[in-house]
Every structure is written in C-alpha cells, then in structure tokens.
Chains A and B, each alone.
Chain A
C-alpha cells in the first residue's frame, strides 16, 4: 500500500507483523490477564472463574440454539438502533449545524437532554412498550443519537468559510453545497461519531436486555447472574466483548472505505 506500511513490513519483531497479528497479540494479553487474575487470587475464582473455565462453558453454550437466538436478538436491536441514530443524528446535525441561529437556539436544549441517562427512563419505557424490541430501541437510540449529533455539529461548524463562499459564488444550490462542501468536512467527524455510537448502542442494547429482560444476550447474563451461575454469566460477557471488537473492526473498515483521503488514514506521523 503506502510507504509507511512497506517500511513496517521490513522492520524486525513486533513492528514487522501485520496489524491483524498485532491486534491478536493485544487480545492474548487480555486473555492472559483473565486467566491469571482468578488463579493468583486477585479475584476469587468462585465468583470470577478463570478464562479457561469460561471458554469451556462457552463452547458448551454455542451448541444450543438458545445462544444463537439470543445473539440474533441482540444484533438486531443493535443494528436497528444504530441505524436510526446515525440517520437521525446526521440529518438533524446537518440541518441544525448549518444555521447558526438554529444552533444557538437549540444548544441549551441539547445540553439539557444529553446527560439524562436512558436507564433512568426505563420504568417509563417499560410502561409504554413493555418487554419488546421497541423498549430496547428507545433506550439505544436515545443514547447513541447524541454521539452522532454532537460529532456532526462539530463537523458542520468546522467547514472552511472560504470553501463555503466559493461554493456560493459558483451558485451551488443547497444540496450541492451540502454534498461538496459540508459533507467532506463533516465526514471524518461523522465517522468518529458512528464508531462511538456503535459502541454505545451495543452497551445500551445489552444493558436494556439486562435490566428490562428483553430477549438477547443481556437477558442471558441477567438470568445467569440471578441463578448464581457466574461462569455462564461471564462467558456471555466475553461474547459481548468479542462483538465489541468486531463492531470496531467493521467501523474502521467503513472509515477506510468512506474517507481514503483523510490524513489520519494515509501515512502516520511518527511522534
């Protein structure tokens, strides 16, 4: 690919390995920690079994349909919630951010609503939607939406006025302006927002399932916890972590696809 990567592959040892191997090494480090901590007594192995036990339990779990159904529910919730958040956040962010008046007007409302935790709204949500996908979605979207919105607002505000003036003098219409001026500036911010929102959406999906009891991985964690089956509980937690890694890999890939021109994705500045 580029100069930095070619150089890295000729460097010795760790730096020479590809990014996949390197990432794997990092995960191995975590795995070693999870195996060692209960064994040396940092945490009691009764209440936090070592990784080998958890993997054995997980291997048994995967063979049951229950696991895959729960996984399906969680991913469905997550994907839907994330999709809605990104669309709404981008649309509203661009609309609000493009006009300084609207931005100034809505700023205080945004700052008021943002810090209200979705979990505080759980009784109200279960009241309205019960133990359904919709309750999950309300909680997930409410949390993830802000991540996207704030980032898009930052992005829209960062647009170079010279570029904007140039577009105007070339008589770009509203759409053209958004497409050629606002969008490229906003895109890096949006990508970070999507990455953050994806992680938040996952956390909230699992949390919602845990607290409300909606079907999914979170519910399995909850049932295991209430039954004192700590090994099963943490086995499912590990699955959650793995999904988190997968989500991040996906987000990074999306970033590369959407913005190959951005400096942070070209060469790296060795600091």
Chain B
C-alpha cells in the first residue's frame, strides 16, 4: 500500500471510530452529569456504577458467570440457526407446507418464555439443557421467518434458468437458494442474536445457579442496585461486541451481495 493509501485508511478508520463513539460519549456525559447528585436508591450516580463495575466483573465472576452464559448463548444460537434453516427452507419452498405449519408455529411462538420454562423443566430438567432450549425457542423464530421470506422472494427468472439447466438437489440449494435467501437470512440472524442475549438472561432468572442473567437477578433481589446497573451495562457491551463481530462475519460472507448491489447501482 502506498503512503497515500495508508493515510487514507487511517483517516477512514478514525472517522468510523469517531462516528461509532460520538453519540454514546455524548449520552454518557449527559448521564454522568444528570445523575451525579442523585440520591435516589434505584438510580445511583454513573460514577458509582463505573466504580462498582471493576469490583464486580474483573474478578472470578468472568469465568464463573460470564463464560458459561456466553457458551450457552453460542450453543443455543448455533442450534437455532441449524433448526431455523432446516425448517425454514423447506417451509418457504412449499406453499402447502407453509400453510400447514404456519399456524402451528405461531401458536408455539406466542407462548412467553417464563411459561415455557416450567414446561422445559418438566422435559429436560434444570441444568444447562433447559437454558439452551429457552434460547433456541426464541432465536429460531427470526431465522425461520426470514429464511421463509427469503426463499419465497427468490428471483423467478433465476429460478427458471436453474430449472432449465436441470440443477437440482444440493447444488441447487448451495448455488441458488442459499445465496438468494442469504441476505434475508442474515437479517434474521442479526435479530436472533439480540433475542438470544435477552433469552440468555431470562433463562437464568429461573432455576439457575450461575450466569450473567443469574447474577443480575441476584443483585436485583438483594437490592445491590449499583451492581445490578453494572450488569445491565455489561449486557449492553456484550451486545455491541457481538453485533460488531457479526457485522465482520456478514461483510465476509455477504461481501459478494453488497458488492453486487453496489455495482448494479453504479457504484453508489
């Protein structure tokens, strides 16, 4: 890379960082300012929260609580992805299957997680399996629905071409269906990630003995309010980190799509 290109890149990164951090810093400053004199028990000053953050989280808690939570999240997410695609693609492909299955799926989906937990406890007990199941039960829906929508919206002309070239089975799936529905599936995965983090917390509110959500609830119950706020902040930070990682993945896998759109639109 030439000197010029390097400088250009650095400026670009700098600008991106400024944009990413700008608003949060402003909001944080506002929060700091408005809460500094707070004597409200449930809304402590931001300064207190920051001070408590290190005490709470830079400790064995990372290994004992945060890691197990994240591991369960990843397993649940991966399973939801597999299930969502395995079900979504055939459902999206066949109108009959969709008509049959959709009301049943909507029925199951409407059952709130706090009610599913007792059912899951009946089925798989109170250990990790239950928590992963709760995460799957929520994450699968955006992936499933978006996979269905993506498959339904596949380009008709392209489909005719594929058919006239007699491309069937796995080749068709790999070269036509998945790339075609890919962007929509990724939109679903992005939704599922946020939902997954939320469910990770909810699943640990019941029958748990470790985890980030568990810690949050224990802080709530024992009125350790600054600690509770640090937990909330940590959840947000994890959300950002995972979203950022996801975007990197998306750019890598869907680079062809974005590039294609860009070139189709004349480089805009």
Contacts and interface: CB of A to CB of B under 8 A. Distances in A.
Nearest to A13: B96
Interface in B248-268: 265-266, 268
Given A106-B23, A244-B106, A207 B112 contact: yes
A14 B122 contact: no
Contacts, number: 207
Contacts of B216: 120
B240 A248 contact: no
B67 interface: no
A146 B194 contact: yes
B171 interface: no
B63 interface: no
24 contacts: A14-B100, A23-B99, A24-B103, A30-B107, A48-B119, A106-B23, A108-B23, A111-B243, A115-B198, A115-B235, A117-B235, A119-B202, A143-B198, A199-B106, A203-B110, A206-B112, A221-B115, A240-B111, A240-B112, A244-B107, A269-B93, A271-B94, A271-B159, A271-B172
Contacts of B43: 124
A151 B161 CA distance: 31
B9 interface: no
Nearest to A265: B152
A117 to B, nearest CB: 4
Interface residues of B, number: 76
Contact of B266 (A25, A119, A146, A161): A161
A7 to B, nearest CB: 10
Interface of B: 16, 19-24, 27, 42-43, 89, 92-96, 99-104, 106-115, 118-119, 122-123, 141-142, 145-146, 149, 151-156, 159, 172, 177, 187, 190-191, 193-194, 197-198, 201-202, 205, 216, 220, 231-232, 235-240, 242-244, 265-266, 268
Main secondary structure on B side of the interface with A: helix
A27 B103 contact: yes
Nearest to B217: A120
B235 A245 contact: no
Given A154-B187, A271-B92, A115 B102 contact: no
Contacts of A268: 95, 152
Contacts of B109: 199, 244
B42 A120 contact: no
Given A24-B103, A120-B235, A115 B152 contact: no
A42 B191 CA distance: 33
B99 A245 contact: no
A: contact size bracket = 35 or more
Given A109-B23, A111-B243, 6 more contacts: A23-B102, A26-B99, A127-B42, A143-B198, A160-B265, A271-B92
A19 interface: yes
Contacts of A207: 112-114
Nearest to B121: A47
A268 B93 CA distance: 8
Contacts of A204: 112
A143 B194 CA distance: 10
B24 A109 contact: yes
Nearest to B236: A112
Contacts of B106: 199, 244-245, 247-248
B153 A19 contact: no
Given A14-B100, A108-B23, A199 B141 contact: yes
Which 8 A-B pairs have CB atoms at the shortest separation, nearest pair first?
A244-B110, A115-B239, A271-B93, A161-B268, A22-B99, A115-B197, A26-B104, A248-B106
A25 B100 contact: yes
Contacts of A69: none
Nearest to B110: A244
Nearest to B243: A111
Nearest to B241: A111
Contacts of A221: 115
B207 to A, nearest CB: 14
Contacts of B197: 115, 117
A55 interface: no
